[in-house]
Chain A
């Protein structure tokens, strides 16, 4: 591979953000556009038509581009709200297992808050809630790594950024553990 050593074991957060940008979000367009075909990994690669003020589902990258040119307003997904996140946070801190969150919530939340923080209500509160969630889950995933054994590591409801964070470690760790396990049985 042509990638430098440090990047071969996992994906960078920016790349994850790019992948997450394929996710569809709702926008309220301010301009009119016909149904146009774009390059997309989805089979249904044509988006639109945009007819203000009707809402439309477009990929996040397109929504970002339009928003930066002030041609749409992004409607935040329903999980990006104070109530939802607050409720998940209390669940997170009260139970030992991970609570269920959208798989790519971190990337999508970051993009939307960067670009369209005026479209999100209570953006500051949401940012602080997201930060709290991350810290709570990080603590849990650190504990969970202690349960690492050679055959499986089960951390249900872990999200893509968090998986990416621990992936380099547990791939190597599992490899070594597998070797260690194999050695005694070989005797």
Chain B
């Protein structure tokens, strides 16, 4: 378990990305049992990991290395996959994308038992990472390689603390008794769980171990007091405090996995527009889902900005700096351009009014959920000189001069309504003559919509021109996947008749078997993966993203209207147990988006609360807990979001630890179904108790 410094910090004695990659190639070429299962890439289901996987697959393909990409949805899935992987004899390289950093991978639970020729590469943007992964050395340790982004250089203190604690020769008994304690805790939890349901406690073991370190070692200290230790007790305590602070301050995100892969491609000198576009998508995903702050985004943006100009030199007379003004210069123009993007959601793909209505920033400032707010919105548009028919036109049909003036007008008039900072620098890609240029944020929306809801649930998308009683009295159509859906495109159904039989449905949601549930999201994964390189399914997915947003807005406005938000002492809770879109919000990804929308919308109206970290002090933030009932499995999906007070800032998400703590205290039957510890699935009866315990936990901090 070593960490790889990024290339700009590498030296002869410290191998960096290129050497690790070269080792993969060498292992592949030399091993006599090489087959398609020699190099396996496990990918978490988010857009960033998807982009990184695509970049890596492209690099491997160019080097003629056979590989397999396997999507993994959560910790349970990873364990299942691990058992399957143990049976592959020819496996020599395993690459984990956006998963596994927090796990202690060399333990017996995970990959400690695998053969010595297996190398595991961990490219993960989740932080905190398990310090054992980063710093442990030795023969066992060398097999696990964490690709670092330069942060590890600043972790010198944590490194010293961890090494001191782990390698301290004296307290062997200390570690044993701590491990015994861990086991007893685990077996206690096991008794409480309802095994018939198949639920089990699958919190990330690394985190719990570290928590165990923090809490239990204090008592151990006193018992073994009389044994002489090399380190004094105070030193040990400071070390423990440091490590506990590292693990306990919540979760945040580092460099995106796709950026790491892009750096690898740069070092190998094999970058081109496609890889650059994928890296941009990964970065934009991190920014639009509030994983990184505006400053971090700007930092990476400037790097990509230079890259864009290096790879796509524009002819000098074309000075396009707004996405409106970008046009493809030739049928084969696939270049990436830098452009200023507006914060409206998908605004080039539906009407201007809709785009502003559905964007969380505008919604919050203007108060869209009330009639008064909607009037303000039309007032704003009217002031800018856009007549109502114009704003109801799909963007592509708006007058050209209005489009060009849009940004200027927004800059001058929007501040009166409190809408400042409406633009941010971003990128757009031309697709020749096959489609109009697509902005990075829109592409990210489309891909994540595919990941969440491409299959497995009935989604209705709007047909263009069918609004306000279009040709066939309005109507939507069921969404079918990309190219395959084109054959079925002619079907239109009336809005009222949702009882259409399922024979033209490709969705597998209707029966409740778990196997079907697993396969629908795998299909989604591959649909999203294909859409990354093919513009036709990507363009179709935009309408899916739009209907997803409409559902989120509907739900969000009804929550705010009904004042469904309960304020606890340290956070706010929303519980969804009924509504038309309940099945949709049972997906953690969609629920998280709803939470983010609420945070953005209510940012100015709610005072922030101080939620302290383990150290007792904390910054003000907007903690939100959103829960939604999954009727089919009679469980609640709970998502915790830590919103920041300023737009463009992020806070470390402490809900992961809070959830685990609350779960332990109230012995709720629950499980973590994804890699994110702040997403929890809990039994229906236990929800109330869990939420109450969560309040206590909040106070305890």
For the complex, what is the distance from the CA of A69 to the CA of B62, rounded to whole Å? 4
- Nearest chain B CB to A65 CB, angstrom units: 10
- A119 at the binding interface (Cβ < 8 Å): no
Output the nearest chain B residue to A66 by Cβ-Cβ distance. B62
Q: Which residues of B contact A117 (CB under 8 A)?
A: 332
CB closest chain-A residue, reference B273: A118
Contacts of A68 in B (CB 8 A): 62
For B63, give the chain A residue with the smallest CB separation.
Answer: A69
Closest to A69 in B: B62
A70 near B332 with CB under 8 A, answer no
A71-B269 Cα distance, complex, nearest whole Å: 10
* B587 CB, nearest partner CB in chain A, Å: 38
Give Cα A70 to B274, complex, Å.
Answer: 13
Provide the residues of chain B in CB contact with A135, threshold 8 Å: none
A70 contacts B63, C-beta separation under 8 Å = no
Q: B270 touches which one: A70, A123, A124 (CB < 8 A)?
A: A70
Residue of A nearest to B329 (CB): A124
- How far is B270's CA from A158's CA once the two chains are assembled, in angstroms? 41
B678 to chain A, nearest CB (A): 40
> What distance in Å separates the Cβ of A165 from its nearest Cβ neighbour in chain B?
25
Asked if B563 is at the interface (CB within 8 A of a chain A CB), the reply is: no
Check if A70 sits within 8 Å of B330, measured CB to CB: no
Smallest Cβ distance from B46 to chain A, in angstroms?
A: 28
Chain B, residues 260-290, CB within 8 Å of chain A (1/0): the string is: 0000000001101000000000000000000
The interface residues of chain B, by DSSP majority, are classed as loop
Bound form: Cα–Cα A137–B252 in Å: 66
Complex Cα gap A124–B64 (Å)? 31
Out of A30, A70, A123, A124, name the residue touching B272 (CB < 8 Å). Answer: A70
Residues of B within 8 A of A123 (CB): 332
A124–B269 alpha-carbon span in the complex (Å)? 27
Taken residue by residue from 306 to 339, chain B's Cβ proximity to chain A (1 for < 8 Å, 0 otherwise) reads as: 0000000000000000000000001010000000
Please report the C-alpha to C-alpha distance between residue A70 and residue B330 in the assembled complex, in whole angstroms. 23
Query: For residue A124, which residue of chain B has the nearest CB?
Result: B330
> Could you tell me the distance in whole angstroms from the C-beta of A110 to the nearest C-beta in chain B?
14
Q: List A contacts of B332 (CB < 8 A).
A: 117, 123-124
By beta carbon, the residue of chain B nearest A123 is B332
Within 8 A of A (CB), among B59-115: 61-64
How many angstroms between the C-alpha atoms of A123 and B62 in the bound complex?
25
Give every chain A residue within 8 A of B63 (Cβ-Cβ): 69
Give the residues from 400 to 459 in chain B that come closer than 8 angstroms, CB to CB, to chain A. none
A71 contacts across to B, CB distance below 8 A? 62
Question: Which chain A residues lie closer than 8 Å to B64 at the CB level?
Answer: 69
Proximity string of chain A (95-137) to chain B, C-beta cutoff 8 Å, 1 when within and 0 when not? 0000000000000000000000100000110000000000000
Separation of A29 and B63 alpha carbons in the complex (Å): 15
Q: Please, how many angstroms separate the alpha-carbon atoms of A30 and B272 in the complex?
A: 15
> A residues 67-100 with Cβ under 8 Å of B?
68-71
| B58 (CB) vs chain A CBs: closest residue | A70
Tell me the minimal C-beta distance from A27 to chain B in angstroms.
Answer: 16
Q: In the complex, which residues of chain A have a beta carbon less than 8 angstroms from the beta carbon of B269?
A: 30
A124 surroundings in chain B (CB, below 8 A): 330, 332
How many Å from the CB of B364 to the closest CB on chain A?
45
A69 contact set on B, CB distance < 8 A: 61-64
Q: Determine how close the nearest CB of chain A comes to the CB of B26; give it in whole angstroms.
A: 15
Q: How far is the CA of A71 from the CA of B272 in the complex (A)?
A: 13
Among B61, B62, B63, B64, residue most surrounded by chain A Cβ atoms (within 10 Å): B62
Bound: A123/B270 CA distance, A: 22
How far in angstroms is the closest Cβ of chain A from B413?
A: 42
Closest CB in chain B relative to A62 CB, distance in Å: 14
**Complex: A70 Cα to B332 Cα, angstroms:** 19
Q: List CB contacts (< 8 Å) of B330-378 with chain A.
A: 330, 332
| Residues 525-564 of B contacting A (Cβ, < 8 Å) | none
Whole-angstrom CA separation of A69 from B61 in the bound complex: 8
Measured between C-beta atoms, what is the minimum distance from A73 to chain B in Å? Answer: 12
Complex interface: chain A residues within 8 A of B272 (CB):
70
For A30, the chain B residues whose CB sits under 8 A away are 269
CB-based nearest B residue for A68: B62
Query: For residue A113, which residue of chain B has the nearest CB?
Result: B332
Closest A residue, CB atoms, query B64: A69
Residues of chain A within 8 A (CB-CB) of B330 are 124
Query: Complex: how many Å from CA A71 to CA B61?
Result: 12
Query: Could you say which of A69, A71, A117 has the most chain B C-beta atoms within 10 Å of its C-beta?
Result: A69
B176 to chain A: closest CB distance in Å?
53
Q: How far is the CB of A30 from chain B (nearest CB, A)?
A: 8
Chain B positions within 8 Å of A70 at CB level: 62, 270, 272
Against A, the Cβ 8 Å flags (1 = close, 0 = not) of B132-164 are: 000000000000000000000000000000000
Cα distance, A171 to B507, chains bound together (Å): 56
Q: Bound state CA distance, A68 and B62, in angstroms?
A: 7
CA distance in complex: A124, B63 (Å): 30
Cα distance A71–B62 when bound, in Å? Answer: 9
Minimum CB–CB distance from A49 to chain B (whole Å) comes to 19
Minimal beta-carbon separation of A39 from chain B (angstroms): 18
Least distance between A143 CB and chain B CB atoms (Å): 32
A176 to chain B, nearest CB (A): 43
B272 to chain A: closest residue by CB: A70
What is the bound-complex CA distance between A71 and B270, given in angstroms?
A: 9
Within 8 A of A (CB), among B237-272: 269-270, 272
- B677-693 vs A, Cβ < 8 Å mask (1 yes, 0 no): 00000000000000000
CB distance from A142 to the nearest CB of B (A): 28
Q: How far is the CA of A165 from the CA of B272 in the complex (A)?
A: 38
| Minimal beta-carbon separation of A181 from chain B (angstroms) | 50
Give min CB distance, B452 to chain A, whole Å.
34
For the complex formed, measure the closest distance between the CB of B628 and the CB atoms of chain A, giving whole angstroms: 46
Q: Give the distance in Å from the alpha carbon of A71 to the alpha carbon of B330 in the complex.
A: 26
A30 vs B62: C-alpha distance when bound (angstroms): 13
Tell me the bound Cα distance from A124 to B272 in angstroms: 20
A115 to chain B, nearest CB (A): 12
| Least CB distance, B25 to chain A, in whole angstroms | 12
Alpha-carbon distance between A71 and B63 when the two chains are bound, in angstroms: 10
B510 to chain A, nearest CB (A): 43
Instruction: Report how far A117 CA is from B61 CA in the complex, Å.
Output: 21
Q: State A157–B163 Cα separation when bound (angstroms).
A: 79
Q: Give the complex CA separation of A68 and B270 in angstroms.
A: 11
Closest Cβ neighbor of B331 among chain A residues: A124
Q: CA–CA, A73 to B488, complex, Å?
A: 43
Please give the distance in Å from B274's CB to the nearest CB on chain A. 11
Query: For residues 56 through 70 of chain A, which have their beta carbon under 8 Å from a beta carbon of chain B?
Result: 68-70
Question: How far apart sit A124 and B329, CA to CA, in the bound complex (Å)?
Answer: 11
Docked Cα-Cα span, A77 to B330, in Å, equals: 24
Distance from B624 Cβ to chain A, minimum over Cβ atoms (Å) = 46
Cα-based distance from A30 to B269 in the complex (angstroms): 10
Interface string of B47-66 (1 = CB under 8 A from A): 00000000000000111100
Residues of chain A within 8 A (CB-CB) of B61 are 69
- Among residues of A, the one whose C-beta sits closest to the C-beta of B330 is A124
Chain A 128-159: CB-based contact to B (< 8 A → 1; otherwise 0): 00000000000000000000000000000000
Instruction: Give the chain A neighbours of B270 by CB distance below 8 A.
Output: 70
- CB-nearest residue of chain A relative to B333? A124
Which residue of chain B has the shortest Cβ distance to A118 in the bound complex?
A: B272
User: In whole angstroms, how far apart are the Cα atoms of A68 and B332 in the complex?
Assistant: 17
- 9 other A-B residue contacts (CB within 8 Å) besides A69-B63, A70-B62, A124-B332: A30-B269, A68-B62, A69-B61, A69-B64, A70-B270, A70-B272, A71-B62, A117-B332, A124-B330
B: which residues have CB within 8 A of A?
A: 61-64, 269-270, 272, 330, 332
A residues near B (Cβ < 8 Å) are: 30, 68-71, 117, 123-124
Q: List 14 A-B contacts (CB under 8 A).
A: A30-B269, A68-B62, A69-B61, A69-B62, A69-B63, A69-B64, A70-B62, A70-B270, A70-B272, A71-B62, A117-B332, A123-B332, A124-B330, A124-B332
Which 8 A-B residue pairs are closest in the complex by CB-CB distance? Answer: A69-B62, A70-B270, A124-B330, A70-B62, A117-B332, A70-B272, A69-B63, A71-B62
